[in-house]
A and B are shown apart, each in its own frame.
Chain A
């Protein structure tokens, strides 16, 4: 994944760059809005991470400019402004995701991965059937089965599994699950999501040899056939 990072804070920027490179991604780092604009227009990127408050050109203004010029590269806004209206403002001006500082690097990586896959697999939204290993989901009939066994799920469990299957192989954080499966943006203080996931795990993994749903320590969960142990 080729990432453009526009971030004026030197230390935060360097840290993100080193983490992205360590995760196997290539990364270009610009230190202000104008340099970011120049970089974004002179090369093509898979995803952009843009800080909101920067010298020379504000992050939102930069996104506006890029969108106006027809650049639809997914953008994640990184900001210290975490109010609801700040978030809405950010998403309205064309950003695809919004992450409030301070943040965990695992959260950023997981979200970037999701943004990247979304573009890479066009038409994924219109799929009628999802499959991960021997687990399959029929979106039209709302039917789930693994191997030959039919699995019956509660509506929320179904949504949870659907989200995990759509992002199979990627790390999905608890905050992302809350946002997309429950539709609320909030900070749970306890392991409430873990309980839902473990219930789901009971249903899809319990009687099978290879577990599909794994916990990624310090980050979230990943659904994928290639994971064992």
Chain B
């Protein structure tokens, strides 16, 4: 695995971007914390200075200058890290008490605060320290200044800032390293998948991806791809079967036609019209087979029309039965229609007519003389939808064959030779009923066949 490949991979780039955004937000949060920390520290310092000035004022009022002097001496004598520094001056500006030099060179701020630098003796060393101070008038011309250094606040703030910076750097380094490794892992899996797929492409659709490794997206992907391959294989087998059937079913009439034509060519006596008519009829049959095939595929691939018309199934069935009644009569078959009320459903009248006609046609073909065919129309469960059952007293279809008869060109073995037809009738029935979002079920009529058509 090339490092460059990992660095340019989508996963790595994604993670790098994510880490950058993450550290930026970490920096923003900690920066806000830093500002808040400095602000509250300085505020507390300021409040302490103001409190101390109040104390001085109270002492001055109660005990006069000597009291103040005493208090300052007590305070400055105490060893304390964060102590205050004091300066009391008289009306002329001369120092009266306190431990600050008489007149530090200070900088005055807008809000009355003073800032100055002063050398402090600490551990025998002189260090430069920043102070803030606030002056007030004690009365009688005396003024007091209380000052406090803020070196420790600055020190603490610096510490916070450095922590911030290190946390951000650590986030970046850890995130990018992590990103590198997870990108490398993902790439590795993609490459494995690539190799597997190439193997399948080379070996044909019968092969499957190896399902290995721990549970995860890639494993799930492999499983789904295997399912897809499975489906493709089934479809391909279906297509192959259909084209085999087409080849078989069309070869026979084409061969007959060819033989007939060559017979005509070699005929010694003049060609009779009858022979030609037979050939043309054969041709028409082929055409109608193709038409039926095209119709089925059009129905299967077409989505349902939005502008469906309302069809009264009762009327439609009456028409179908009326159309087939003479044919039934000719075969001494009783054809009954059992409908109680109008059934209006949305659909394509021509298609529905074709569907019922095909089923009835089959029933008539397979019902023996003196048989009985019943067409019944009832509302579905809870009065939703419509159920048409067409029951005959013929030989029926064995349970194992019932699914197969809907396949194009499929014909129950015994009927292939005995009955005319192109083996597309029930395929068309199924295509039409599914086009109307309905279903067709074959059942036994004990004896005979019952075709149950459910329409929404």
Q: CA–CA, A85 to B304, complex, Å?
A: 11
Q: CA–CA, A195 to B302, complex, Å?
A: 34
- In the complex, which residues of chain B have a beta carbon less than 8 angstroms from the beta carbon of A190? 327, 361, 364-365, 420
Residue of B nearest to A88 (CB): B307
**A172-194 interface bits toward B, Cβ cutoff 8 Å, 1 = contact, 0 = none:** 00000000001111111111100
B319 A182 Cβ-Cβ under 8 A: yes
A104 touches B (CB below 8 Å): yes
B287 A102 Cβ-Cβ under 8 A: yes
B350 A184 Cβ-Cβ under 8 A: yes
B326 A196 Cβ-Cβ under 8 A: yes
A217 touches B (CB below 8 Å): yes
**B250-291 interface bits toward A, Cβ cutoff 8 Å, 1 = contact, 0 = none:** 000000000000000000000000000100110010011011
**B413-431 interface bits toward A, Cβ cutoff 8 Å, 1 = contact, 0 = none:** 0000000111001000000
What bracket does the count of chain B residues touching chain A fall in?
A: 35 or more
Residue of A nearest to B425 (CB): A189
- In the complex, which residues of chain B have a beta carbon less than 8 angstroms from the beta carbon of A187? 288, 291-292, 295, 354
A186 B354 Cβ-Cβ under 8 A: yes
A156 touches B (CB below 8 Å): yes
A102 B290 Cβ-Cβ under 8 A: yes
Residue of B nearest to A194 (CB): B327
What bracket does the count of chain A residues touching chain B fall in?
A: 20 to 34
Residue of A nearest to B307 (CB): A85
B291 A218 Cβ-Cβ under 8 A: no
A23 touches B (CB below 8 Å): no
Cβ distance B257 to chain A, nearest Cβ, rounded Å: 14
- In the complex, which residues of chain A have a beta carbon less than 8 angstroms from the beta carbon of B357? 186, 188-189, 192
B441 touches A (CB below 8 Å): no
B444 touches A (CB below 8 Å): no
Cβ distance B285 to chain A, nearest Cβ, rounded Å: 10
B281 A218 Cβ-Cβ under 8 A: yes
**A19-37 interface bits toward B, Cβ cutoff 8 Å, 1 = contact, 0 = none:** 0000000000000000000
Q: CA–CA, A82 to B354, complex, Å?
A: 14
B277 A192 Cβ-Cβ under 8 A: no
Q: CA–CA, A185 to B354, complex, Å?
A: 8
A199 touches B (CB below 8 Å): yes
Contact of B348 among A84, A100, A217 (CB under 8 A): A84
Residue of A nearest to B330 (CB): A195
Could you say which of A104, A186, A196 has the most chain B C-beta atoms within 10 Å of its C-beta?
A186
A186 B327 Cβ-Cβ under 8 A: no
Q: CA–CA, A84 to B427, complex, Å?
A: 19
Residues 129 to 165 of chain B near chain A (Cβ within 8 Å)? none
Q: CA–CA, A100 to B290, complex, Å?
A: 12
A217 B305 Cβ-Cβ under 8 A: no
- In the complex, which residues of chain A have a beta carbon less than 8 angstroms from the beta carbon of B421? 189
A147 touches B (CB below 8 Å): no
B326 A100 Cβ-Cβ under 8 A: no
B326 A199 Cβ-Cβ under 8 A: yes
B33 touches A (CB below 8 Å): no
Contact of A85 among B287, B305, B326 (CB under 8 A): B305
B106 touches A (CB below 8 Å): no
> Given A100-B291, A189-B425, A199-B326, A84 and B361 touching (CB < 8 A)?
no
A192 B324 Cβ-Cβ under 8 A: yes
B236 touches A (CB below 8 Å): no
Residues 94 to 150 of chain A near chain B (Cβ within 8 Å)? 100, 102-104
> Given A192-B361, A218-B277, A82 and B326 touching (CB < 8 A)?
no
Residues 68 to 107 of chain A near chain B (Cβ within 8 Å)? 82-85, 100, 102-104
A184 B349 Cβ-Cβ under 8 A: yes
Residue of B nearest to A189 (CB): B361
Cβ distance A188 to chain B, nearest Cβ, rounded Å: 6
Q: CA–CA, A156 to B348, complex, Å?
A: 23
Residue of A nearest to B350 (CB): A185
Q: CA–CA, A79 to B389, complex, Å?
A: 36
> Given A190-B327, A218-B284, A84 and B350 touching (CB < 8 A)?
yes
- In the complex, which residues of chain A have a beta carbon less than 8 angstroms from the beta carbon of B302? 83
B287 A186 Cβ-Cβ under 8 A: no
Residues 21 to 70 of chain A near chain B (Cβ within 8 Å)? none
**B317-335 interface bits toward A, Cβ cutoff 8 Å, 1 = contact, 0 = none:** 0010011101100100000
Contact of B305 among A84, A100, A185 (CB under 8 A): A84
- In the complex, which residues of chain A have a beta carbon less than 8 angstroms from the beta carbon of B323? 182, 192, 196
**A190-221 interface bits toward B, Cβ cutoff 8 Å, 1 = contact, 0 = none:** 11100110010000000000000000011000
Cβ distance A121 to chain B, nearest Cβ, rounded Å: 29
B361 A186 Cβ-Cβ under 8 A: no
Cβ distance B424 to chain A, nearest Cβ, rounded Å: 9
B245 touches A (CB below 8 Å): no
- In the complex, which residues of chain B have a beta carbon less than 8 angstroms from the beta carbon of A189? 357-358, 361, 421-422, 425
B209 touches A (CB below 8 Å): no
Cβ distance A203 to chain B, nearest Cβ, rounded Å: 12
A84 B291 Cβ-Cβ under 8 A: no
- In the complex, which residues of chain B have a beta carbon less than 8 angstroms from the beta carbon of A196? 323, 326
B291 A102 Cβ-Cβ under 8 A: yes
B298 touches A (CB below 8 Å): yes
Contact of B353 among A100, A102, A156, A186 (CB under 8 A): A186
B351 touches A (CB below 8 Å): yes
B354 A156 Cβ-Cβ under 8 A: no
- In the complex, which residues of chain B have a beta carbon less than 8 angstroms from the beta carbon of A191? 327
Q: CA–CA, A183 to B311, complex, Å?
A: 13
Q: CA–CA, A82 to B288, complex, Å?
A: 13
Residue of A nearest to B348 (CB): A84
B239 touches A (CB below 8 Å): no
A-B contact pairs, 26 of them (CB 8 A): A82-B298, A83-B298, A84-B348, A84-B351, A85-B307, A102-B290, A103-B287, A104-B284, A104-B287, A182-B319, A183-B319, A184-B353, A187-B288, A188-B361, A189-B425, A190-B327, A190-B364, A190-B420, A192-B323, A192-B326, A192-B357, A195-B327, A195-B330, A199-B326, A217-B277, A218-B280
- Which chain A residues have a beta carbon within 8 Å of chain B's beta carbons? 82-85, 100, 102-104, 156, 182-192, 195-196, 199, 217-218
Q: 5 nearest interchain CB pairs?
A: A186-B354, A195-B326, A184-B353, A185-B350, A195-B327
User: Other CB < 8 Å A-B pairs besides A85-B307, A104-B287, A192-B357, 9 of them?
Assistant: A84-B305, A184-B350, A185-B350, A186-B351, A187-B354, A190-B420, A195-B330, A218-B280, A218-B284
